[in-house]
Amino acid sequence: MVHTAAGADAWVWHARAAAVLAEGDDDGRGVPDGFSYEITVDGRTVRCCDPRLTDAQRTLVTKLLKEGA
């Protein structure tokens, strides 16, 4: 979970999240033993799976894994 309201880079988080939300869910077909993600922003959830992440999804997931808790 990442709280962005007080962060100096809040606009970056919001822009990346907006891009992922705009794309919507993927087809839900990952690969065996692959990672799948549920990204929830303001009550809206998008589901996506590796290795079929879009560039926007991959960028946000990478940032979340590095900086999130």
Number of domains in the chain: 1
Domain-embedded: residue 38: yes
CA dist., res. 26 & res. 16, Å (int): 16
Walk along the chain (69 residues) and give the pLDDT tens digit of each residue.
Answer: 666 666 777 788 888 888 888 888 777 678 888 899 888 888 888 889 988 888 999 998 998 888 765
Find the domain containing 18 and state its range.
10-67
pLDDT at 33: 87
pTM: 0.76
Residue 4 lies in a domain: no
Residue 2 counted as domain residue:
no
In a domain, 41, yes or no: yes
Handedness of CA 33, 56, 5, 67 (dihedral sign): positive
Would you say residue 37 lies in a domain? yes
Residue 5 domain flag? no
- What angle (nearest 5°) sits at the alpha carbon of residue 35, between those of residues 14 and 25? 50
